[in-house]
């Protein structure tokens, strides 16, 4: 089925297509940034060397103030979450129903990726590939998995956070902001970075709440110049935070553990998104834009989860082709990046036919009991959290595969309970047989 016919079969009347476009833009920008950050070539000793060309540029840190768009992704995710939750409630659904579906959407695509890492790392060890090179590749390729931990946490708490938003929207923001400030203060005053992990809760939930406000029309009710002033003010707060405060001026450094500057970025990006909405809406009125957005959007998790392994594999293949792998950060290397981006996207598109089927939740039977959903959510959260904290290695790949497999089984397939009368009848038939 073509992308155009797919869009024609979807009811677009209740969708804000500009947010679909924003989501696709965020993921494609992540792919591009990582493509520029990964330099694979031969060192002076003739051995394979991996570098980070983008981070070596003097202008890299300032550019991250615009290029760090993960806060926008969580804002858009918040909009989608509260919209989906309200629709589910109108149909009589429960919190367990919501969490089951959302966690499955994250755990299922992650399962084949963890199995892939287990096979590749284990196989590389067996055939004697340099362990340092294997570890370096695995750590780099698996680095985006932090998102699964943060997003699983946010999605699991959507029913609770929507309830708080309905009762005291501003107070909820204030409490989350205060929590983020306290966590950062304790982290930087004590020098214990692990304290910052608490901001997986405070920072990302606060950014998600901004998406709730976006869905409720708070940003739409502001005049354009008010949104512009709010965005400018949010960006200006980054100056004292990074110059006088303890935060890095590199917004990627502020990502894990998440810190207060990400909140400022989220506010600014939400305002800019609203300011750009008329232009984005006109773009999404075209069939070509809709086709591209829905074609890419239907494969977003595959693209996000697999793009770094694909980049590394293609970079490795280029090493085997004469003149196909210029020295990283050289002029020739920069000029080959557009071609490499096209190749990466083509490879991901092909890969999506193998692993893309895992993006759609496979729900069989009724929603499991709340306790089972909670256990499965924890099982889905732990593997990416372990990668975020300890980096990908063989034990984490194997353990993560088992945990995610268990989560998918618990959430995806639940037996249909038969009425007591039917069970009794079945028992009598069995006994008489």
Q: Is 50 exceeded by the pLDDT of residue 90?
A: yes
Q: Tell me the C-alpha distance between 107 and 363, whole Å.
A: 13
Q: Is 50 exceeded by the pLDDT of residue 1?
A: no
Q: Dihedral (C-alpha) 31, 394, 257, 229: value to the nearest 10 degrees?
A: 10
pLDDT, tens digit, for every residue of 389-428?
999 999 999 999 999 999 999 998 777 655 444 444 443 3
pTM above 0.85, yes or no: yes
* Cβ pair 386, 400 in contact under 8 A: yes
pLDDT, tens digit, for every residue of 204-256?
999 999 999 999 999 999 999 999 999 999 999 999 999 999 999 999 999 99
* Cβ pair 377, 103 in contact under 8 A: yes
Q: What is the pLDDT of residue 365?
A: 85
Mean pLDDT of 320-325: 86
pLDDT, tens digit, for every residue of 158-212?
999 999 999 999 999 999 999 999 999 999 999 999 999 999 999 999 999 999 9
* Cβ pair 45, 98 in contact under 8 A: no
Return the ∠ at Cα 276 (arms to 346 and 243), rounded to 5°: 90
Mean pLDDT of 134-150: 92
Tokens read off for 171: 């107070």
Nearest to 7 by CA among 296, 229, 203: 296
């Amino acid at each position: 089925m073509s992308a155009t016919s797919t869009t024609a079969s979807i009811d677009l009347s209740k969708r804000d297509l500009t947010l679909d476009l924003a989501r696709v833009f965020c993921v494609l920008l992540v792919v591009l940034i990582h493509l520029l950050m990964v330099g694979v070539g031969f060192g002076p000793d003739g051995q394979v060397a991996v570098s980070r060309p983008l981070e070596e540029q003097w202008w890299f840190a300032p550019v991250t103030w615009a290029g760090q768009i993960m806060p926008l992704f969580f804002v858009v995710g918040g909009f989608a979450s509260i919209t989906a939750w309200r629709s589910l409630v109108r149909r009589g659904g429960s919190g367990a129903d919501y969490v089951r579906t959302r966690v499955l959407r994250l755990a299922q695509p992650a399962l084949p990726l963890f199995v892939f890492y287990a096979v590749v790392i284990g196989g590389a060890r067996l055939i004697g590939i340099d362990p340092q090179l294997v570890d370096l590749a695995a750590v780099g390729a698996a680095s985006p998995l932090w998102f699964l931990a943060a997003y699983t946490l946010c999605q699991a708490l959507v029913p609770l956070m929507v309830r708080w938003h309905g009762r005291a929207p501003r107070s909820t923001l204030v409490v989350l902001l205060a929590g983020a400030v306290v966590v950062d203060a304790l982290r930087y005053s004590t020098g214990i970075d692990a304290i910052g992990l608490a901001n997986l809760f405070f920072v990302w939930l606060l950014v998600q709440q901004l998406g709730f406000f976006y869905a409720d029309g708070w940003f739409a009710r502001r005049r354009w110049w008010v949104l512009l002033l709010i965005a400018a003010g949010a960006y200006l707060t980054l100056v004292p935070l990074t110059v006088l405060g303890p935060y890095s001026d590199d917004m990627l450094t502020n990502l894990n553990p998440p810190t207060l500057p990400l909140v400022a970025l989220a506010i600014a990006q939400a305002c800019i998104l609203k300011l750009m909405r008329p232009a984005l809406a006109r773009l999404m009125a075209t069939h070509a834009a809709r086709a591209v957005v829905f074609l890419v959007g239907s494969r977003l998790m595959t693209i996000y989860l697999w793009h770094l392994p694909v980049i590394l594999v293609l970079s490795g293949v280029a090493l085997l082709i004469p003149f196909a792998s210029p020295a990283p950060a050289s002029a020739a290397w920069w000029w080959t990046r557009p071609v490499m981006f096209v190749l990466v996207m083509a490879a991901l598109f092909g890969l999506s036919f193998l692993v893309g089927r895992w993006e759609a939740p496979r729900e069989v039977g009724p929603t499991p009991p709340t306790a089972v959903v909670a256990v499965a959510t924890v099982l889905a959260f732990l593997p990416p959290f372990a990668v975020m904290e300890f980096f990908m290695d063989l034990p984490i790949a194997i353990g993560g595969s088992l945990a995610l497999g268990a989560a998918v089984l618990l959430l995806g397939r639940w037996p249909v309970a038969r009425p007591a009368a039917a069970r009794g009848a079945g028992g009598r038939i069995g006994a008489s047989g």
